[in-house]
Structure 1
């Protein structure tokens, strides 16, 4: 999340995370009751967001669900980064001072690989790099983790849905086992979510936002889940979502983002929310006991 941990919570409103699959509990040490806990951009309160260090930190803490954001470089490489620009979470302004506004899409993968994506967070992480999606998937697999993948800013990257699915397929993530319990693809763009569903109907998908209750049957044609800003949710809305079946025949689910305190988590659990997206998964885990 964001500059620094405080800003991370604000920016989370632009990139929540979710999951919807069976067997939601993390490995030993994670919650045994309560909503599913998703580590937003990794354990992003404790390591620089969307880096390998952040998902390693989540794994070390015992959480197997992580979320990321995927965008595309000028030369077509998929990379894991949240903002449309590189300025907040890297030293791009120092390395490339004459290339404002430093948009991801204007840099090659090799250029981005030169950037320091950790020192903004802490000197401990100086030299941390922006991972490619391939590198990220290799580490998630190595850690035996599960992934909520957000297609970020799809309007900037025509065809990114197909390219993302091709990479996931090449990395072995579109086999029946992963589709059943380890992968969710989401976006703030309904068109992008629909495209993913049309290309690979077996993939679980989620729409980031809050359609009206009247619109839920329309969204249920291509989204298994609705994920919303926690401040917008009510027990009545969550019940309405649960009352609609998604494209795979199961009741739609709701995950709330971004929740970083126990009292809010307890309130949402009382509403019946299915999952919590958080920068501080350990704090939320203690809520469930």
Structure 2
């Protein structure tokens, strides 16, 4: 009888532990699979809405992105504005250089009609708007666009970040990148707690270990044009202690290939091309 009782009690304990474990599994919050790359929306969901506008950023959030990539420049009066081109003609109804206009004048421009008439009321956003309206819902990957045209832009960006106390976060929701290595170094020296990276255009010969070693002295990631990225190069980047991102991938099969490659981040105009988050 004692043996039967002990067996019954053991079975009961195992059953209780199993049910408790299932409960914890059911209540676990869904999240990104540890090997899934960051889903990064290029200029917002630029395939669906006019790039670098609040509509594009909100659409990206709706599509469940991890980060939104944006471009920042300076207005004539020193405001950080979100726009890709150094001139206004392609994405607004204005003309001339961004840097030759005060923010209040840039704000009057139509930044959406070029994409579709449904977006005729879109404006050029101020960087601080994104910190207040978008950052609570998705991280922001900030590209310093043509920083040589804007002396001091790194300090201005650092000032805005510090003003919002975003440099103190243990899990940073901001990252900064540029094609300009000197600008990345300058920013990284101002706020070393935020991840900084270097954008790299296509190089047929790839990237040497010497170059990667140089970049690793100040950068936490490199962001390569998709035509360069290979599994071998990803491993080289990781061997130098940096993360490997790629841009701009608008083909679903290529995105899936990079997912299987276990890249750290993939940038796209169409975030809906990613597989749904695994739970």
Equivalent residue, structure 2, for 1:113 = 107
Equivalent residue, structure 1, for 2:9 = none
1:273-288 correspondence runs (5 A): 273-286=263-276
Q: Is the 8 A contact 1:35 1:276 kept in 2?
A: yes
TM-score by length of 1: 0.79
Partner-residue secondary structure (3-state), 1:181: coil
Q: Is the 8 A contact 1:33 1:288 kept in 2?
A: no
Equivalent residue, structure 2, for 1:185 = 176
Give the total of aligned pairs: 246
Equivalent residue, structure 1, for 2:22 = none
TM-score by length of 2: 0.82
Equivalent residue, structure 1, for 2:18 = none
Equivalent residue, structure 1, for 2:228 = 232
* Structure 2: runs of 5 or more not aligned: 1-28, 202-206
Shift of residue 29, structure 1, vs aligned partner: 9.0
Which structure is larger by alpha-carbon Rg, 1 or 2? 2
Q: What CA distance in whole angstroms lies between the structure 1 residues aligned with 2:276 and 2:250?
A: 12
* Structure 1: runs of 5 or more not aligned: 1-26, 94-101, 246-251
Shift of residue 34, structure 1, vs aligned partner: 2.6
Out of 189, 200, 204, the position equivalent to 2:191 is 200
Q: Is the 8 A contact 2:39 2:265 kept in 1?
A: yes
Instruction: Go from structure 1 to structure 2 and tell me whether the alpha carbon gap of 1:173 and 1:231 turns closer, same or farther (over 3 Å shift).
Output: same
The answer on 1:72 being equivalent to 2:66 is: no
Partner-residue secondary structure (3-state), 2:222: strand
Q: What CA distance in whole angstroms lies between the structure 1 residues aligned with 2:276 and 2:199?
A: 26
The answer on 1:253 being equivalent to 2:243 is: yes
Q: Is the 8 A contact 2:141 2:174 kept in 1?
A: yes
Q: Is the 8 A contact 1:31 1:285 kept in 2?
A: no
